[in-house]
């Protein structure tokens, strides 16, 4: 199982593609992770691997990454400060 595309709102997904914005994804299925990372790239975003599904709390409502529209540096900063 892979989790992706849930921290950014649909309106941002439509307007920020191709602007170095990161999409965070998580999971433990290596083949699935590779596929999802490629889909993220194909959609014009930068993939950022968070870890396995047990580490996805920041992606949930009220989490530090929920609603985030950041580049990789911004994602790292939000995670560091959470």
Q: How many domains is the chain partitioned into structurally?
A: 1
- Report CA 79 to chain centroid distance, whole Å: 12
Q: Are 24 and 65 in contact (CB under 8 A)?
A: yes
Mean pLDDT, residues 51-58? 96
pLDDT tens for 8-51 read: 887 788 777 767 899 999 999 999 999 999 999 999 999 999 99
Domain of residue 43, residue span: 2-80
Rounded distance between C-alpha atoms, residue 58 and residue 48, angstroms: 13
List the CATH number of the domain containing 22: 3.40.50.720
- pLDDT at residue 68 tops 80: yes
The pLDDT of residue 59 is: 94
The pLDDT of residue 41 is: 95
Confidence at 7, pLDDT banded by 50, 70, 90: confident
Q: Are 21 and 45 in contact (CB under 8 A)?
A: yes
């Amino acid at each position: 199982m892979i989790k992706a595309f849930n921290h950014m709102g649909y309106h941002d997904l439509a307007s920020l593609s191709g602007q170095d914005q990161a999409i965070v994804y998580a999971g433990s299925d290596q083949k699935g992770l590779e596929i999802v990372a490629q889909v993220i790239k194909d959609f014009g975003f930068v993939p950022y691997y968070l870890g396995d599904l047990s580490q996805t709390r920041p992606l949930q409502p009220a989490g530090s990454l929920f609603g985030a529209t950041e580049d990789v540096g911004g994602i790292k900063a939000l995670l560091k400060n959470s």
